[in-house]
């Protein structure tokens, strides 16, 4: 079934894949099967427990192979946010005698920024590294800022504007461990080289929500910021959600099999959005790197337009998108990503595609958007300004 919304089901298009992707059919099958076979405690020695353990170990092998890691480096937790926060706080805790300094790009996901706030509240130091107008850090400047630090964090690709970060280049120049938040790129692009800690999230690649992946490279110093039990090699306490983990692994294997072709297809659709929006909507700023970017995501800001009104009007017509405009945030502050890039923040729309997104979805969006923006501008009395 396609994702749909009420009476406009036939015309609806879910274009907010960067928030969450609909469950992959392979994940659905695996989830149902694993609910029957993988409900028991994988830490127990009885037959039912051993069956769960077998499923969990198999899922771990699959995810490890997909990420270019060893199975014993991969642990599962409750979300991508938890994985990133464990990576950052655990990486900092293990090196607190070396340094209390945490260096990160200014455009990291809020989960990393929240971990940085916790670190500062605990007496540590957090140093954001600025980005350019396209949203990218300068590799030499980042490496220089991170010299002698406890830990550095640089996302693989930005979740709001799609810009790829030079992770491998930075890693090669660093003398400290690097965490990369790969939530937006895993399942879509190859994993970059050189990181010590990686975090990812299953519901971004078509797995179920509630599964985060934390990878700690062998030899990386890391100490759990949480109380420790016998699960997940002492890295994540609590009973593993085996059925969801099995479904996450199955969907990752499935999306990787078609990742290159899907990336090409989505990149062409995003190219069409970038070009058409710039040509058909006056006074629009398409933001993020036009080339070195995620294949599925595009962001633009419409001058003089209220972002919340734009989202509401698009939703009324069946299009689910996202926005970094302040009026759409709980705190009424603009997105820290757009702020760090120094680009227009109002009238902001993020469109992100997934495997069910069609050329027809994109064409309908591109047909609806220009008159909608023109109507909002007319209503606000800003036409011709």
Catalytic sites, residue numbers: 327
Please tell me the distance from the alpha carbon of residue 103 to that of residue 151, in angstroms, as a whole number.
Answer: 6
Q: Which is nearer to another protein, 214 or 338 (CB)?
A: 338
Secondary structure of residue 118 in the 3-state scheme: helix
345 binds another protein, rule: CB under 8 A: yes
Q: Which is nearer to another protein, 158 or 301 (CB)?
A: 301
374 binds another protein, rule: CB under 8 A: no
283 binds another protein, rule: CB under 8 A: yes
Cβ contact 179:199 at 8 Å: yes
Q: Which is nearer to another protein, 132 or 175 (CB)?
A: 132
125 binds another protein, rule: CB under 8 A: no
349 binds another protein, rule: CB under 8 A: no
338 binds another protein, rule: CB under 8 A: yes
- In DSSP notation, 310-331 reads HHHHHHHTTEE-B---GGGSTT
Please identify which residue in the block is written with the tokens 């198999």. 58
Under DSSP, the state recorded for 12 is: -
382 binds another protein, rule: CB under 8 A: yes
Please tell me the distance from the alpha carbon of residue 100 to that of residue 94, in angstroms, as a whole number.
Answer: 10
Under DSSP, the state recorded for 210 is: S
- Which of 163, 185, 323, 325 binds another protein (CB under 8 A)? It is 325
121 binds another protein, rule: CB under 8 A: no
Backbone angles phi, psi at 100, to 5 degrees: -110, 15
- Which of 305, 320, 366, 372 binds another protein (CB under 8 A)? It is 305
Q: Which is nearer to another protein, 64 or 284 (CB)?
A: 284
380 binds another protein, rule: CB under 8 A: yes
- In DSSP notation, 34-101 reads HHHHS-S-TTS-SHHHHHHHHHHHHHHHHHHHHHT--GGGEEEES-HHHHHHHHHHHHHHHTTTT--E
Q: Which is nearer to another protein, 35 or 374 (CB)?
A: 374
Cβ contact 348:338 at 8 Å: yes
CB of 132 to another protein, least distance (A): 14
| Residues 113/115/120/124 CA torsion (nearest 10 deg) | -120
Q: Which is nearer to another protein, 3 or 374 (CB)?
A: 374
Please tell me the distance from the alpha carbon of residue 112 to that of residue 117, in angstroms, as a whole number.
Answer: 9
CB of 329 to another protein, least distance (A): 10
The residue count for binding another protein (CB under 8 A) is 24
- Which of 334, 355, 361, 372 binds another protein (CB under 8 A)? It is 334
343 binds another protein, rule: CB under 8 A: yes
16 binds another protein, rule: CB under 8 A: no
303 binds another protein, rule: CB under 8 A: yes
326 binds another protein, rule: CB under 8 A: yes
Under DSSP, the state recorded for 135 is: S
Structure tokens at 74: 């991969």
Binding site for another protein (CB under 8 A): 283, 285, 301, 303-306, 325-327, 332-334, 338-339, 342-347, 380, 382, 385
């Amino acid at each position: 079934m396609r994702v749909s919304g009420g009476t406009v089901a036939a015309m609806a298009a879910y274009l907010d894949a960067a928030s969450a992707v609909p469950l992959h059919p392979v994940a659905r099958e695996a989830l149902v099967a694993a609910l029957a076979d993988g409900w028991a405690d994988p830490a127990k020695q009885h037959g039912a427990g051993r069956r769960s353990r077998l499923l969990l170990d198999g899922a771990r092998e699959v995810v490890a192979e997909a990420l270019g890691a060893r199975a014993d480096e991969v642990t599962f937790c409750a979300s991508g946010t938890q994985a990133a926060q464990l990576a950052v706080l655990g990486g900092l805790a293990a090196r607190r005698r070396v340094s209390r300094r945490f260096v990160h790009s200014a455009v990291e996901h809020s989960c990393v920024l929240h971990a940085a706030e916790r670190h500062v509240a605990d007496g540590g130091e957090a140093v954001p590294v600025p980005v350019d107008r396209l949203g990218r850090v300068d590799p030499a400047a980042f490496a220089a800022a991170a010299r002698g630090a406890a830990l550095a964090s640089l996302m693989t690709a930005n979740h709001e504007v799609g810009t790829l970060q030079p992770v491998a280049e930075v890693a090669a120049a660093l003398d400290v461990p690097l965490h990369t938040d790969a939530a937006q790129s895993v399942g879509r692009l190859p994993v970059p080289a050189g990181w010590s800690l990686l975090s990812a999230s299953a519901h971004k690649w078509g797995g179920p929500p509630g599964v985060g992946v934390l990878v700690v490279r062998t030899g990386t110093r890391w100490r759990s910021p949480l109380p420790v039990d016998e699960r997940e090699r002492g890295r994540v306490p609590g009973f593993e959600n085996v059925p969801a983990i099995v479904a996450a692994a199955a969907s990752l294997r499935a999306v990787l099999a078609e990742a290159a072709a899907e990336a090409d297809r989505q990149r062409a659709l995003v190219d069409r959005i970038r070009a058409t929006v710039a040509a058909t909507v006056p006074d629009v700023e398409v933001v993020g790197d036009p080339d070195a970017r995620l294949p599925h995501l595009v962001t633009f800001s419409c001058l003089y337009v209220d972002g919340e009104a734009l989202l509401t009007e698009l939703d009324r017509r069946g299009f689910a998108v996202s926005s970094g405009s302040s009026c759409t945030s709980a705190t009424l502050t603009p997105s820290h990503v757009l702020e760090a890039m120094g680009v227009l923040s109002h009238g902001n729309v993020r469109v992100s595609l997934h495997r069910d997104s069609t050329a027809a979805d994109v064409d309908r969006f591109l047909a609806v958007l220009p008159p909608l923006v023109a109507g909002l501008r007319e209503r606000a009395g800003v036409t011709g300004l």
